């Protein structure tokens, strides 16, 4: 590969690292072209899976300000660059790796922080961002309903107490 082509490849990879929310490094040795195509589809629309050269990827990561272990760049490496929800792509990789043991998740990066393979698998166990946000909204709505009921109960109780006091006074006034 000519020096100018290497420089262009590093620049492209650096840009992908910078524009991605997450990147997951995998070893794909033993996977067929058809399996790689299936893997790309399983990652979703917000991820791009690319076979990369280790040395150029290391340089690009460094230039993007990302520190990754040198051990991640051993063997044939491919990177899933995720621009959307990283949970969805992590689930796609985890599920594909279960069915195809030749795919090995090595590690990656999420918002500039290095992740181990186990951390990526834990990320895959999370619910999607939309589900978590809807659960939060439901919890907040429930708390608002409780607060509204509490605020409504205070004046209602005051009115009942005042009404009971008036009835008692009327009863005492009528008995004398």
User: How far is Cα 159 from Cα 161, in angstroms, rounded to an integer?
Assistant: 5
Over residues 141-164, the mean pLDDT reads 78
> Quick check: 25 and 72 in contact, CB under 8 A?
yes
- Identify the H or E element spanning 27: strand 22-27
pTM: 0.67
Q: What tens digit of pLDDT does each residue of 93-133 get? A: 888 888 888 888 888 888 888 888 888 888 877 776 677 77
For residue 88, give the nearest of 22, 15, 32 by alpha carbon. 22
Closest of 109, 104, 132 to residue 39, by C-alpha: 104
Segment 27-34 shows an average pLDDT of: 87
Give the pLDDT of residue 174.
59
Q: If DSSP codes are grouped into helix, strand and coil, which group holds residue 66?
A: coil
Half-sphere exposure of 35 (CA within 13 A, CB side): 15
The two beta strands, 104-110 and 47-52, are: unpaired
pLDDT band at 176 (very low <50, low <70, confident <90, very high): low
Name the CA radius of gyration of the chain, rounded: 29
For residue 21, pLDDT beyond 80: yes
Query: Which regions of 63-122 does DSSP assign to beta strands (E)?
Result: 77-82, 104-110, 113-116
Burial of 33 (0-12, 13-18, 19+ CB in 10 A): exposed
Q: How much is the pLDDT for 93?
A: 87
């Amino acid at each position: 590969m000519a020096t100018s082509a290497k420089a262009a490849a590093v620049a492209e990879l650096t840009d992908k690292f910078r524009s991605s929310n997450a990147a997951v490094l995998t070893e794909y040795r033993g996977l067929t072209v058809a399996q790689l195509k299936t893997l790309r589809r399983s990652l979703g629309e917000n991820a791009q899976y690319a076979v990369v050269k280790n040395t150029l990827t290391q340089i690009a990561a460094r230039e993007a300000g990302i520190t990754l272990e040198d051990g991640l760049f051993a063997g044939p490496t491919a990177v899933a660059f995720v621009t959307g929800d990283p949970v969805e792509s992590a689930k796609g990789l985890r599920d594909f790796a279960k069915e195809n043991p030749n795919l090995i998740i090595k590690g990656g990066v999420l918002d500039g922080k290095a992740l181990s393979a186990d951390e990526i698998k834990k990320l895959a166990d999370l619910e999607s961002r939309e589900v978590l946000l809807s659960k939060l909204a439901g919890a907040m709505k429930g708390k608002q309903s409780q607060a509204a009921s509490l605020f409504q109960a205070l004046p209602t109780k005051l009115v009942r107490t005042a009404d009971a006091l008036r009835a008692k006074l009327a009863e005492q006034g009528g008995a004398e």
